Amino acid sequence: MLSFRLQALVDLYPSSAPTFADIGSDHAYLPLALFREKKAERGFCVENKLGPYQRSKKAIEESIYSSCCTLYFGDGLKPLQEKVDVLILAGMGGKLIRSILEKEKEKLLQIPYLLLDIHGEEAALFPFLGEMCFFPKEEKALYERGIYYHPLLLEKGSSPYQYSEEDILFNPLNRFQKEEAWKLMMKKKISSLTHLLEGDLPSPIKEKYKNEKKKWEAAIDENESFVTKTR
């Protein structure tokens, strides 16, 4: 059975996008699910570590979709020569995703969609995505095994997109959609800051946490108002 996180990525996969590249496929669970659910017709997987490469190779060869999927051993987008509709990078931090994309900017310019599962360090990634004209199209919020995830589909626009500080901190679309998982994540962060403020901290650090807590509390209040106004 596919994990909730990977299923969310499958659900976000855009229609009319027959080809994809999955960077860091590991067990190839996601590519095979995309074929199984008839979301895509052709896929290319890239792995740079021998163990995950061998696991992906075995999974693909033992499936009925082996003729639909090509597996490369190499780093990032470098082995990829084919043009694809969707580039998938899941389970990586923002710094690593940015590093992979920056190394092959020319290839990135030809890709209409990014499907991302960012594990922290969003501040290092979103400004670059905006510079490359990728804007948020659809986002989900979920918890799995106690960990918060926000899978995100981005589409390439015709001009740079400006991500705000709030987009980076509170998720670009989830902060308006207010799914239950997002609200829980916000409450946990506020609770964590409250706990820190109960400790014996130097004044400058205490003031920093106070301001941060106010910012997170205000984000919930602002988005409560936003949702009410747009209904």
3-state secondary structure the chain: CCCHHHHHHHHHCCCCCCEEEEECCCCCHHHHHHHHCCCCCEEEEEECCHHHHHHHHHHHHCCCCHHHEEEEECCCCCCCCCCCCEEEEEEECHHHHHHHHHHCHHHHCCCCEEEEEECCCHHHHHHHHHHCCEEEEEECCEEECCEEECCEEEEECCCCCCCCHHHHHHCCCHHHHCCHHHHHHHHHHHHHHHHHHCCCCCHHHHHHHHHHHHHHHHHHHHHHHHHHHHC
| pLDDT tens string 52-87 | 999 999 999 999 999 999 999 999 999 999 999 999
CATH class name, domain 4-163:
alpha beta
| pLDDT tens string 185-224 | 999 999 999 999 999 999 999 999 999 999 999 998 765 5
Q: Are 73 and 53 in contact (CB under 8 A)?
A: yes
157 has a pLDDT exceeding 80: yes
| pLDDT tens string 10-45 | 999 999 999 999 999 888 999 999 999 999 999 999
pTM: predicted TM-score of the whole model, two decimal places: 0.92
pLDDT in the model for residue 189: 96
pLDDT in the model for residue 99: 97
pLDDT in the model for residue 231: 26
**Binning pLDDT at 50, 70 and 90, where does residue 104 land?**
very high
